[in-house]
Amino acid sequence: MGGKEKIKALAAAAKNGRMSVAVDDVQNARDLSDAARAAGSRLEVLIEVDVGMGRGGVRSPEEAMTLARRVAHLPGLRFRGVQGYEGHCMLEPDRSLRIQKAGAAMDYLGTVTQRLAAAGFDCVVVSAGGTGTYDITGNHPGVTEIQAGSYVFMDNFHGNLVPGFSHALTVLGTVVIQHGNTLVLDSGRKSVGIDFALPTMVDYPFYQARYFAEEHALFDVDERCRLKLGDTVELIPGYAPSTVNLYDAYHVVEKNVVVDIWPIIPRGPGHCGLLT
């Protein structure tokens, strides 16, 4: 968490319940401490460890221990453990290689936690994992918490990695152009996530999209397809995380009936009255 206003909001929210934050920088820890003191709250700190992804996280056990010592002396902060996200393993399509990579990442994270424990910093929380490695990282004896999220909705990308979860998220499109065996839907990249895998039609999963433009999706079909101009069609997103952020609300459907509307609160204030 960075930025003065964001940190201030985080510290204020911590007054309403337990709040954990990942930290890999001493100055960031100081900023969090200052905000927590000003708000009269306490933030639980997980030291972020780079386990191979090369993004955030301290780069060595020594850096982790130095940061833990600093955190332990900062008011408003409480050391709770470590966080090591092996996101570089999620994209590995070969499951045996994914197991090998994730195992190596968690072994390294375990080394860091052992060094911290030896220095007097017990890691109550060891957080890691995602949908692509939930059943790998989740079986590691040192991990206490899994960060998986995409499994809730699933999508074509994650579904290819970890089959067995139902698809619960779709985008409703409409056939707006039809020429021969070509269907054009009004569900382009501004409507559905295409990262890592292309969306597919729920009722016709065997058709691969020709391409997704900003506003449109093109499918070449054959005699098996019964869709015609004006018909609606559900699309399974290629990537759910970059689909959800495009919308202000979920329309909850049971037996083809909209039974509820759930606001997507992290989208901000533009809910057109949904939150009032």
If you average pLDDT over residues 173-202, what whole number do you get?
A: 97
End-of-domain residue from the set 117, 148, 179: 148
Residue 194: inside a domain: yes
**Is residue 271 predicted with pLDDT exceeding 60?**
no
Helices 26-39 and 61-72 cross at an angle (nearest 10°) of: 20
How is 180-241 classified by DSSP, letter by letter? TTEEEES--TTTS--SSS--EESS-TTPPEEEE-SS-EEEE--TT----TT-EEEEE-S-SH
Domain count, the chain: 2
Q: State residue 239's pLDDT score.
A: 96
Q: State residue 268's pLDDT score.
A: 63
| Element at 166 (helix H, strand E) | none
Which has the closest alpha carbon to 201: 226, 236, 166?
A: 236
Residue 164: inside a domain: no
Q: Domain holding 225: CATH number?
A: 2.40.37.20
pLDDT digits (tens, 9 = 90+) for 215-262: 999 999 999 999 999 999 999 999 999 999 999 899 999 999 999 999
Q: Domain holding 44: CATH number?
A: 3.20.20.10
| Residue 272 pLDDT level (bands cut at 50, 70, 90) | low
Residue 154: inside a domain: no
Residue 89: inside a domain: yes
Amino acid at 6: K
If you average pLDDT over residues 266-274, what whole number do you get?
A: 59
Measured CA to CA, the distance from residue 130 to residue 7 in angstroms comes to: 25
pLDDT above 70 covers a percentage of the chain that reads: 96
Task: Please state, rounded to an integer, the average pLDDT across all residues of the chain.
Answer: 94
Lowest mean pLDDT among 120-124, 159-163, 214-218: 159-163
Residues 176 and 138 in one domain: no
Q: State residue 266's pLDDT score.
A: 73
pLDDT digits (tens, 9 = 90+) for 39-92: 999 999 999 999 999 999 999 999 999 999 999 999 999 999 999 999 999 888
Residues 217 and 178 in one domain: yes
Residues 127 and 261 in one domain: no
If you average pLDDT over residues 183-202, what whole number do you get?
A: 96
Residues 42 and 141 in one domain: yes
- pTM given for the model: 0.86
Residues 140 and 212 in one domain: no
| Residue 265 pLDDT level (bands cut at 50, 70, 90) | confident
Q: In which order are the strands placed within the sheet that holds 43-48?
A: 20-23, 43-48, 77-84, 125-128, 145-146
Domain with 176, as residue range(s), is: 171-267
**Is residue 110 predicted with pLDDT exceeding 70?**
yes
Q: State residue 90's pLDDT score.
A: 86
Residue 112: inside a domain: yes
If you average pLDDT over residues 183-203, what whole number do you get?
A: 96
Measured CA to CA, the distance from residue 219 to residue 199 in angstroms comes to: 11
If you average pLDDT over residues 168-179, what whole number do you get?
A: 97
Residues 134 and 177 in one domain: no
Q: State residue 269's pLDDT score.
A: 57
Measured CA to CA, the distance from residue 83 to residue 119 in angstroms comes to: 18
Residues 87 and 179 in one domain: no
How is 67-89 classified by DSSP, letter by letter? HHHHHHTSTTEEEEEEEE--HHH
φ, ψ (nearest 5 deg) of residue 250 = -95, 140
Q: Is 27 left (phi over 0), alpha (psi -120 to 50) or beta?
A: alpha
Residue 276: inside a domain: no
| Residue 101 pLDDT level (bands cut at 50, 70, 90) | very high
Q: State residue 247's pLDDT score.
A: 92
Residue 84: inside a domain: yes
Q: State residue 93's pLDDT score.
A: 87
Residues 208 and 78 in one domain: no
Residues 27 and 77 in one domain: yes
Residues 95 and 205 in one domain: no
Residue 142: inside a domain: yes
Measured CA to CA, the distance from residue 45 to residue 184 in angstroms comes to: 49
Residues 137 and 186 in one domain: no
Residues 19 and 134 in one domain: yes
Which residues, 6+ apart, have CB-to-CB distance to 100 below 8 Å?
none
Q: State residue 24's pLDDT score.
A: 97
